[in-house]
Homo-oligomer: A and B are copies of this chain.
Amino acid sequence: MSAERISSLQNPRVKHLVKLRDRRHRDKSGTFLIEGYRELSRSLARDVRVQEVYFAPEWFLGQNERPLLEQAAAGGACLFELTKDAFRKCSYRDRPDGLLAVADQWETDLDQLHLGPAPLLLVCERIEKPGNLGTLLRGADAAGADAVIVCDPVTDIFNPNVVRASTGVLFSVPVVVTDRERLISFLRSRGIRTVATTPDTETLYTDTDLRGPIALLLGSEQYGLTSEWLAAADVKVRIPMAGQADSLNVAMAAMITLFEAVRQRRLP
């Protein structure tokens, strides 16, 4: 396992890694960052094309980093060994674990989505916080949703904090990115019922049939779903709230609704 060594904080590669935290640079290069053992390991287990892996043994937490590096190298990744300080500069984590990779973004167009007869979809409109988008991905994964559709995104799915908050689920759950108009026509053409979550309805999510082909719609943290989505939805549902108005955030609301769908879909 051979690796170029980097110790200078001024090294152009180090600078490039820092730049990739910025969406403009990600979009321009068509790449993104994957930091951390778990995340890198999950990306290698999937079809993600990892170009480069930067590592710093002084930050390693366990014993399994070297085999993972060998796996990455065998898959075609170039390896770079960094000093502790150089890695500290590249890492976007409070507690780095000595692994940071650059991988190719992949095609996320709606056309990429291949669905079975009764899919369970999670549609997130205009989510702002990367942490929420990542948590939504985790929830969709846990519930076995067929895909997450990111609609009119504010945050791009390749944001390092989406990767982190998703704990690598970004690499396993099908994710597509699209806009409202295309998505509505896509869902209608396939007979997929749209279920909008909103406080402004009397219908409880538990009183609605969530079986069959459905798309659960969740809106932005601050404003919820746009009026256009609310008007387009086949049914509107709410989660009964006992406490303060903002006790449930969008990720929790998604989790609760998704698992109610799971419950109903397991009914005999």
Contacts and interface: CB of A to CB of B under 8 A. Distances in A.
Contacts of A173: 243
Contact of A262 (B144, B169, B240, B247): B240
6 contacts: A138-B252, A139-B252, A142-B247, A172-B243, A206-B263, A252-B252
A141 interface: yes
A259 B256 contact: yes
B206 A243 contact: no
A244 interface: yes
A74 interface: no
Nearest to A204: B266
A18 B169 CA distance: 37
A267 to B, nearest CB: 9
A235 interface: no
Contact of A263 (B242, B255, B260, B266): B260
Contacts of A61: none
Nearest to A38: B246
A248 interface: yes
A51 interface: no
A129 to B, nearest CB: 13
B206 A248 contact: no
A214 to B, nearest CB: 16
Contacts of A135: 252
Interface string A225-268: 00000000000000111111011110010011001101100100
